A and B are shown apart, each in its own frame.
Chain A
Amino acid sequence: MKTLAGIRPGRFTIGLVIIAVPLTLALLGPLLAGEPGPRAPSFTLGGGHWLGTDFVGRDVWQQVLLGGRSVVLVALAATTLAYLVALPLGLISALTHRTWLEELLMRPLDVLLAVPSLLLILLVAAVFSPGAVGLSLLVAVVNIPDAARMVRAAAAEAASRPAVEALRMQGETWWRMAVGYVGRSIARTLAADAGVRLTGVLYLVATAAFLGVGVAPDASDWAVMVDRNRTGLFVQPWAVVVPALLIVALTMGSNLLFDAALEKPHRRKGNGCERGR
């Protein structure tokens, strides 16, 4: 782990420790899970099952091992997708001198910003019953307006510098200006925003899965486990508590980690309003 200047070691370490367990389980769990055993009666404790059995009698520990991958992968895919669209949109509208083009690109996004993110996801789910791919697309779409605005705001500042004017006068290509100069100079801001956004996306993906969007009703997914095993909470709390704790650790840890890792070295204490969804 590279130590960047200006990191508060305390928060960074805490974040790392908190996120280590769920992330390890999510990435390595499916390799360790092995073959599913025979089904036992639902919501039982003991009987060779370390954490008991779930609502259809599967081993909870095995479900825990299997259930992290979908949350993490869908969240990563959605964040990447959102930036694949938002980055060109923001760069083009920041670098163009044509007002109508900028308006055309950014105005529709302003209009979309007002629609609550979960509502949009539920609306589409009512009609299409999306799978994991559909869910990552949806979450990406929900994040595009805000991400594009952020990219544009950061790029507009960089694009107004004399250096860009000089590049323009030298007849450099748009690509060289947008990616080579503006893109590079906003990289740090982008990284900070991507960290915050990934945390928000994790939240949204887990919440959507809890509400049954983008997952099968008996999927091996931490959020689905919390939802489906709730009926047996009083009989067999582990089937709910363990996945819930893992989701809490995942989101909490990623937020603490990104906040510590991406803190600007010269930033004054307590400066700046953080953003997030």
Chain B
Amino acid sequence: MIGPRSWVARRLLLGVAQTAAVVLLVFSLTEALPGDAAVALAGDQPDPERIAAIREAMHLDRPAYERLADWASGLLHGDFGTSLASGRPVSSYIADGFGPTVLLAVLTMVLLVPAGVGLGVLAAGHEGRFVDRLVSSVTLGVYAVPEFAFGVLLVTVFALRLGWLPPTAVGYGTDLLDHPAALVLPVLVLLSRPVCSLARLVRAGMIDALASPYVAQARRYGISGFRIRYAHALPNAIAPCAQQLARTVDWLLCGVIVVEALYVIPGLGTVLINAVAERDVPVVQGLAVVFGLTAVVLNLGADLVVHRLAPRAGVAA
């Protein structure tokens, strides 16, 4: 038998292992470069000066374990190294892109739960009828659609045809809150997949809960349908679904990268894509650590919350 405390301990341990794995994985990237890393990274401009500069910036003349130790201890102090392309510290790239990305993430999370739960409850309330079939089919269809295809179609309709919203966030800088119109489409696209997944889970949970004996008993007591639905069935419907919220974290992180590229929002995703295109490895590594650790922490948090809400649901650890 495994007690709750040891479960939490095991889950925390897994989180630590995942953190270490992310750091190692990201670091091993430079080791995986074929041949001389500095020459490989110089790419199109293989002049000796640039190769020497790369070797200097990445300390490639020192053994791998020393560099790993240095890099990892630097991470703890917020020192992510310096960019190969510009020579600026990677942390300044992260500081620049942080605001827009967090704004997008927070807005999406704030809207995700009411929208997803609302749609799910609506569908469950009309089980088997037109509203339910409509919501189920649309959510099932939309949740597999890549954000970029969906987003580009929304731009065509709302920016090009109707002219209601700006097509991209170009020209607004990082101060997006002052231009809420530029945020509508990105947040809508970012919401599309997680909302569908959440709505489907809530619908399934609600239908199961409404068919359960305790709801039948509550009905016999003459408790109002409203109270049964929202005070009794809904909490039980949500608890097992919360387990799947961790999956949503993965989608949101992927989605942020795509949405920022699509709407030209100067956030962390754009910085990452630009660094990948320029093969600016230190910047890619720094951002990968930020994204990877965010995912690890959010997964851990989601699992712990689920464990608290629904101890019966077995969460992998």
The answer to whether A226 has its CB under 8 Å from any CB of chain B is yes
Residue of B nearest to A226 (CB): B152
Having A115-B295, A211-B257, one finds 15 other A-B pairs with CB under 8 Å, namely A114-B299, A122-B276, A127-B32, A203-B144, A207-B258, A223-B148, A223-B149, A233-B156, A244-B148, A251-B146, A252-B144, A254-B144, A256-B141, A273-B201, A274-B201
- In the bound assembly, the distance between CA atoms of A275 and B248 in angstroms comes to 11
At the interface, is chain A mostly helix, strand, loop or mixed? helix
Within 8 A of A (CB), among B106-149: 124, 127-128, 133, 137, 140-149
Q: Mark B273-312, 1 if CB is under 8 A from A, else 0.
A: 1011101010010001001100110010000000000000
Query: With a CB–CB cut-off of 8 A, which chain A residues contact B137?
Result: 11, 14, 256
Within 8 A of B (CB), among A241-258: 241, 244-245, 247-248, 251-252, 254-256
Q: Smallest distance from the beta carbon of A74 to chain B beta carbons, Å? A: 14
Query: With a CB–CB cut-off of 8 A, which chain A residues contact B18?
Result: 111, 114-115
**Do B208 and A255 touch across chains, with their CB atoms under 8 A apart?**
no
Report which B residues bind A (CB closer than 8 A): 14, 17-18, 21-22, 25-26, 29-30, 32-33, 40, 124, 127-128, 133, 137, 140-150, 152-153, 155-156, 160, 167, 197, 200-201, 203-208, 240-241, 243-244, 247, 249-251, 253-254, 257-258, 261, 272-273, 275-277, 279, 281, 284, 288, 291-292, 295-296, 299, 316
**Do A252 and B145 touch across chains, with their CB atoms under 8 A apart?**
yes
- In the bound assembly, the distance between CA atoms of A273 and B238 in angstroms comes to 11
**Do A110 and B204 touch across chains, with their CB atoms under 8 A apart?**
no
Q: List 22 A-B contacts (CB under 8 A).
A: A111-B17, A115-B21, A116-B249, A116-B253, A116-B292, A119-B254, A123-B25, A125-B276, A126-B281, A126-B284, A127-B279, A211-B273, A226-B152, A240-B152, A241-B153, A244-B148, A252-B141, A270-B124, A273-B205, A273-B244, A274-B197, A276-B143
- In the bound assembly, the distance between CA atoms of A101 and B128 in angstroms comes to 47
Query: With a CB–CB cut-off of 8 A, which chain B residues contact A273?
Result: 201, 204-205, 240-241, 243-244
- In the bound assembly, the distance between CA atoms of A246 and B277 in angstroms comes to 27
Residue of B nearest to A210 (CB): B148
Residue of A nearest to B280 (CB): A126
**Do B21 and A248 touch across chains, with their CB atoms under 8 A apart?**
no
- Known contacts A211-B261, A273-B244; is A122 also within 8 Å of B273 by CB? yes
**Do A248 and B204 touch across chains, with their CB atoms under 8 A apart?**
no
**Do B148 and A207 touch across chains, with their CB atoms under 8 A apart?**
yes
The answer to whether A269 has its CB under 8 Å from any CB of chain B is yes
**Do A118 and B240 touch across chains, with their CB atoms under 8 A apart?**
no
Within 8 A of B (CB), among A104-132: 110-112, 114-120, 122-128
- In the bound assembly, the distance between CA atoms of A276 and B194 in angstroms comes to 11
Query: With a CB–CB cut-off of 8 A, which chain B residues contact A10?
Result: 133
Q: Smallest distance from the beta carbon of A149 to chain B beta carbons, Å? A: 8
